[in-house]
Amino acid sequence: MVSVSSFDPGDRFMAITKRRLPTFLQFGKSSNLSQKLMLIGLAITLFFIFLAFFAPLFQAWGWLQNPKDFLSNPIHETPSAKHWFGTSRLGYDVFSRTLFGAQAALQVVILATALSMIIGVPLGMLSGYLGGKLDKVLLFLMDSIYTLPGLLLSVTLAFVVGRGILNAAIAISIAYIPQYYRVVRNHTVSVKTEVFIEAAQAMGASTWVVLSRYLFFNVIQSVPVLFTLNAADAILVLGGLGFLGLGLPEEVPEWGHDLKQALEALPTGIWWTTLFPGLTMTFMVVGLSLLGEGLNEFVNPRLRRENRIRK
């Protein structure tokens, strides 16, 4: 039998504090598989961002060859200590072009997703808040764009705007605008009937004030998730454009264009020019996809409750 006098209230307080850790501390200790995969995706994404930022510095230090230099290298040399990923049929150093390809991919992808977000989010807020004929016209336009295959739409626009980082970003971004529009519009339609919105309207707040101060931060919870998932898809679309010769200029290191050049030599046993750019593109897409799926659960209370119930 335990004596009542031996019970220390401090022990109970310590037990409660140990059980109730802040959410950001519990996140790292959680055994949830999707959260662990999110951390893996975040690590992969940060690794590619590191490569994109420091590749020019590595070249300046002499650790990387110039990705545009091919006259001084032998053709189709196997991976070695001098050329870690070998050389291509034009004499390019595959390792250097693979690393610099991450820089070009991030530039185009971030610009493309940012453009689609900048256009889609305001249109979705205006359409959902104002309604009426504007909402019907925008819904019809966005649904028409959304029904078209994204790659086909990007290829068509790439024919029109031509090559280049900005042009490729514009060609890719058009396919993602309807996604941001629909997500934000649906959130806006549900949030605009809340009491705090009606109170702001009763106090004479203008449409701009309501949209920017009261609606904006309440309807963009899913935008970061959509951003990462679209970024992963945009890498594949950029690779497809490069493979078709519609992406970036030929002198710019780009994985899709390099894969097209390497495909002709693949039947002859030249495997390294295809393997390394393809693997790098795959890892980057997987990293962004894992990050996006993890963020989706992190910002979605329903998914968090379902995972707790499964535990």
- Name the residue among 104, 76, 23, 30 with its Cα closest to residue 280: 104
Residue for token digits 């949030």?
A: 191
Asked if residue 180 lies in contact with residue 148, where contact means CB atoms within 8 angstroms, the answer is no
Domains of the chain: 31-62+69-310 (1.10.3720.10)
Full-model pTM: 0.80
Q: What is the pLDDT of residue 251?
A: 81
Would you give per-residue pLDDT tens digits along the chain (311 residues)? 444 444 444 444 444 344 444 444 444 454 577 778 889 999 999 999 998 899 888 888 888 888 887 777 888 788 888 888 888 888 888 898 999 999 999 999 999 999 999 999 999 999 988 888 998 999 999 988 888 888 888 998 988 888 888 999 999 999 999 999 999 998 888 888 888 888 887 888 788 888 888 888 888 888 888 888 899 999 999 999 999 888 888 888 889 888 888 888 888 888 888 899 999 999 999 999 998 888 877 766 554 555 555 55
Q: What is the pLDDT of residue 112?
A: 93
Give the dihedral of Cα atoms 9, 11, 15, 16; nearest 10 deg: 20
Q: What is the pLDDT of residue 196?
A: 83
- Name the residue among 226, 120, 259 with its Cα closest to residue 182: 120
As a residue count, the chain comes to 311
Q: What is the pLDDT of residue 300?
A: 63
Element housing 134 (H / E): helix 132-147
Q: What is the pLDDT of residue 129?
A: 87
Cα 215 to Cα 137, 223, 254, 291, distances in angstroms: 22, 14, 40, 26
Crossing angle of helices 177-191 and 94-130, rounded to 10°: 40
Q: What is the pLDDT of residue 305?
A: 53
- Name the residue among 18, 22, 85 with its Cα closest to residue 272: 85
